C-alpha cells in the first residue's frame, strides 16, 4: 500500500555497516550474520539489559559487554531469546565487547546471530564503546554534509532549468538526472503530459500512474498494521536496517488529503507529488533507489512545476494578461471585461487595522475575497470582486464595498467603495456596503442635477480637500471626531476646513435644509 509522506529537510542519512567496519582505528570485525552491503545503522546504543527490546527504537548498533549473560547461558535458549528480541525491536547489528567480562565472544551467541540474520561485530579490548558511538556520529555527519551539498546543487540546477525556454521538460530532465530515474508530469485527467529520464518497466509505470491518482482523489482508508509485534523465529525474514513500527489502532482514522505518497514496485521506488497550484497536476518519480535527500529534491521540482503549471499559465491567467494589455493599448473597459468574467462586479477598498499593507497582505486579502485582481495603493488595497462572491468581514481589515456595477460604472463604484471605507473606519465597523437603493435625487434628471451641483459648489472648485471634508462630515452627521478618523487628520483641521467651507459657500451649515441640499450636490459632484 502507498505511504503518504510530508515534505521535510534532508534527514541525517544512516551509515552503512561496511563503512563502520572500514574504520582502522576501531578494528571491528564481523564474525556472524549477513555481510549485506545494504545494512545501515541509524545510531549506536549501549545496554546490558537481558531484554533490550523496550529500550530500542530500531536501526541501532547495540553494544554490550555481556554483563547480563548468566553462567549457564550456553546450555539453554538464553542467546536465542536475546537475539530474537533484538531482531524484533528492529536492531541493525550487535557489537560485543571482548573484555572486561568475556575473553571471547560466546559461540552460542555467534550461532544465534547466524540463525536470526543479525550482524555480530567483535569489539576488541582497546576499543571503547564511546569510540564506536563517536565514529557512528562522525560518519553520519559526513554523510549529511555530502547529502546537503547534493541537495543544494540539485536545487540550483532545477532553478536554472525552470528559467529555460522549455521550462517544464527541462525541470523533468534535470530531476530525472539527479535521482537517476524517470520523472513524469501527469495532467488533471491523469494522462502523461511530459516525461524524462530512463524508461521504467511497464508494471512500474502503471503503478506510478495509479499512485498519482491517490493524491489526486484520496478515497481509500489508510492501511492498518496488526496489533503488537510477533516474536520472530529463525526462519523469519529480517530487515536489520528498518526501524520498528509502533502498534496501530484497529480502526482507521479519517484520511487527510495527501500532498505526496510513496510506494515500491519490485526494485523500483515510486513517489508522487500533488502540485497544489497546478489545478490537478501531479509529479511522479520512479527510481532504482531512494536516498534521504531525494524527497527534498523532488519537492523543489514540485514547487517549480506548480508555478509553471499554475494559474498564471492557465486560461484564467492568460485572459487577465490579455485584458491588461488591451487596457494599456487603449481598449475601453466594457471590451476588456468579458476576458475577466461575465456579470457585474464589486469594488472593495480595504485598510488593515494595525499597519500599512504590503504586497503579501494584499495578495492574501484578494485570495480571501476570491479574486486575484488586487491593487495596492499606499495605505489602501483595492480588489475587484465578481458580484456573485459576496465579500464578508476579514479579520484585521476594515472594508468598504461598492454596489454591483458593470464595466462602464467601475469608476463610480471605486468612489462608492472609498466612501464606504471611510464610513466604516469612522464608525469602527468591520464592513460597510454602499446603499444602492433609489433616492429622491434619482427623481431629478442627471444633467440638471449635475449642473445644479456645479453651480452650488463652485466656490469649492479646485479645493478637493475642502469638498472631501465637507462630504465626510455631512455623511457622519457633523461628528468632528469621526470625520477626523475617517480622513486621518486632526479634529481641529476638520473644524478649520468646515469653517472655511461655510465661509466660501456663504451658508449656515447648522441649518438642516442647507445640509440636505449640499449633500445632494456633493453626491452628484
Write down the pLDDT at residue 354. 73
Write down the pLDDT at residue 419. 87
With pLDDT > 90 as the criterion, what percentage of the chain qualifies?
Answer: 29
CA-nearest of 457, 463, 435, 473 to 517 is 457
For residue 88, the surrounding DSSP H or E stretch is: helix 78-88
Domain covering 440-524: architecture: Orthogonal Bundle (1.10)
Q: What is the pLDDT of residues 317-366, one digit of tens each?
A: 667 777 777 777 888 877 777 777 667 889 999 998 877 777 767 777 88
Q: Pick the range with the lowest mean pLDDT from 89-93, 150-154, 290-294, 354-358.
A: 354-358
pLDDT above 50: residue 243: no
Q: What is the pLDDT of residues 148-172, one digit of tens each?
A: 888 889 989 998 888 877 788 889 9
Q: What is the pLDDT of residues 22-72, one digit of tens each?
A: 999 999 999 999 998 889 999 999 999 999 999 999 999 999 999 999 987
pLDDT above 60: residue 6: no
Write down the pLDDT at residue 20. 95
For residue 415, the surrounding DSSP H or E stretch is: helix 410-426
Q: Which residues make Cβ contacts (< 8 Å) with residue 195, sequence separation at least 6?
A: 172, 182, 183, 184, 185
**Nearest-angstrom CA–CA distance, 450 and 440:** 14
Q: Which residues make Cβ contacts (< 8 Å) with residue 92, sequence separation at least 6?
A: 17, 39, 40, 41, 42, 59, 60, 61, 119, 240, 241
366 or 6, higher pLDDT = 366
In the three-class reduction of DSSP (H, G, I as helix; E, B as strand; rest coil), residue 384 is classed as: strand
Write down the pLDDT at residue 443. 57
Write down the pLDDT at residue 125. 94
The radius of gyration of the chain from alpha carbons, rounded to an integer in Å, stands at 36
The whole-model pTM stands at 0.46
Tell me the fold of 27-126.
Answer: 3.40.1390
- Domain locations in the chain? 27-126, 344-433, 440-524
**Nearest-angstrom CA–CA distance, 168 and 228:** 46
Write down the pLDDT at residue 333. 76
- Do 440-524 and 27-126 fall under one CATH topology? no
**Nearest-angstrom CA–CA distance, 202 and 503:** 88
Query: Could you tell me where the beta strands, DSSP code E, fall in 355-418?
Result: 374-377, 380-386, 397-401
Q: What is the pLDDT of residues 184-238, one digit of tens each?
A: 998 877 888 888 998 888 888 888 888 888 777 544 444 433 333 444 444 343 4
CA-nearest of 1, 353, 301 to 168 is 301
pLDDT band with cut points at 50, 70 and 90 for residue 478:
confident
Amino acid at each position: 500500500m502507498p505511504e503518504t509522506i510530508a515534505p521535510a529537510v534532508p534527514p541525517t542519512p544512516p551509515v552503512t555497516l561496511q563503512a563502520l567496519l572500514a574504520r582502522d582505528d576501531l578494528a571491528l570485525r564481523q564474525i556472524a550474520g549477513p555481510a549485506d552491503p545494504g545494512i545501515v545503522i541509524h545510531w549506536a546504543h549501549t545496554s546490558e539489559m537481558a531484554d533490550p527490546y523496550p529500550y530500542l527504537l530500531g536501526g541501532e548498533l547495540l553494544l554490550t559487554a555481556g554483563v547480563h549473560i548468566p553462567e549457564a547461558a550456553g546450555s539453554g535458549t538464553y542467546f536465542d531469546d536475546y537475539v530474537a528480541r533484538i531482531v524484533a525491536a528492529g536492531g541493525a547489528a550487535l557489537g560485543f565487547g571482548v573484555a572486561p567480562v568475556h575473553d571471547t565472544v560466546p559461540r552460542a551467541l555467534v550461532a544465534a546471530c547466524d540463525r536470526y540474520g543479525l550482524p555480530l561485530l567483535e569489539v576488541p579490548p582497546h576499543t571503547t564503546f564511546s569510540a564506536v558511538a563517536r565514529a557512528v556520529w562522525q560518519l553520519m555527519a559526513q554523510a549529511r554534509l555530502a547529502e546537503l551539498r547534493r541537495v543544494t546543487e540539485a536545487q540550483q540546477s532545477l532553478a536554472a532549468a525552470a528559467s529555460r525556454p522549455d521550462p517544464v521538460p527541462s525541470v523533468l530532465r534535470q530531476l530525472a538526472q539527479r535521482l537517476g530515474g524517470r520523472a513524469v508530469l501527469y495532467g488533471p485527467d491523469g494522462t502523461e503530459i511530459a516525461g524524462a529520464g530512463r524508461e521504467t518497466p511497464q508494471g512500474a509505470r502503471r503503478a506510478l500512474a495509479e499512485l498519482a491518482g491517490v493524491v489526486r482523489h484520496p478515497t481509500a482508508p489508510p492501511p492498518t498494521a496488526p496489533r503488537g509485534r510477533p516474536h520472530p523465529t529463525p526462519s523469519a525474514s529480517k530487515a536489520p536496517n528498518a526501524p520498528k513500527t509502533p502498534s496501530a489502532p484497529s480502526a482507521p482514522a479519517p484520511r487527510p488529503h495527501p500532498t505526496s505518497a510513496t510506494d515500491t514496485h519490485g526494485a523500483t521506488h515510486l513517489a508522487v507529488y500533488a502540485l497544489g497550484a497546478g489545478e490537478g497536476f501531479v509529479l511522479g518519480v520512479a527510481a532504482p533507489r531512494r536516498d534521504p535527500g531525494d524527497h527534498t529534491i523532488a519537492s523543489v521540482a514540485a514547487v517549480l512545476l506548480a508555478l509553471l503549471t499554475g494559474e498564471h499559465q492557465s486560461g484564467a491567467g492568460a485572459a487577465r494578461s490579455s485584458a491588461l494589455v488591451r487596457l494599456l493599448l487603449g481598449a475601453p473597459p466594457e471590451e476588456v471585461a468579458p476576458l475577466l468574467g461575465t456579470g457585474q462586479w464589486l469594488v472593495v477598498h480595504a485598510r488593515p487595522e494595525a499597519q500599512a499593507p504590503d504586497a503579501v497582505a494584499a495578495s492574501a486579502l484578494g485570495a480571501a475575497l476570491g479574486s486575484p485582481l488586487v491593487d495596492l495603493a499606499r495605505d489602501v488595497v483595492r480588489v475587484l470582486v465578481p458580484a456573485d462572491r459576496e465579500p464578508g468581514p476579514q479579520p484585521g481589515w476594515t472594508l468598504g464595498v461598492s454596489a454591483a456595477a458593470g464595466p462602464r460604472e467601475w469608476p463610480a463604484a471605486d468612489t462608492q467603495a472609498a466612501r464606504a471605507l471611510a464610513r466604516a473606519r469612522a464608525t469602527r465597523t468591520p464592513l460597510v456596503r454602499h446603499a444602492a437603493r433609489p433616492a429622491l435625487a434619482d427623481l431629478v434628471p442627471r444633467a440638471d442635477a449635475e449642473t445644479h451641483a456645479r453651480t452650488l459648489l463652485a466656490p469649492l472648485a479646485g479645493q478637493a480637500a475642502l469638498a472631501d471634508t465637507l462630504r465626510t462630515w455631512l455623511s457622519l452627521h457633523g461628528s468632528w471626531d469621526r470625520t477626523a478618523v475617517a480622513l486621518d487628520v486632526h479634529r481641529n483641521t476638520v473644524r478649520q476646513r468646515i469653517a472655511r467651507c461655510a465661509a466660501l459657500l456663504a451658508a449656515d451649515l447648522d441649518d438642516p435644509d442647507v445640509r440636505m441640499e449640499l449633500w445632494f450636490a456633493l453626491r452628484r459632484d
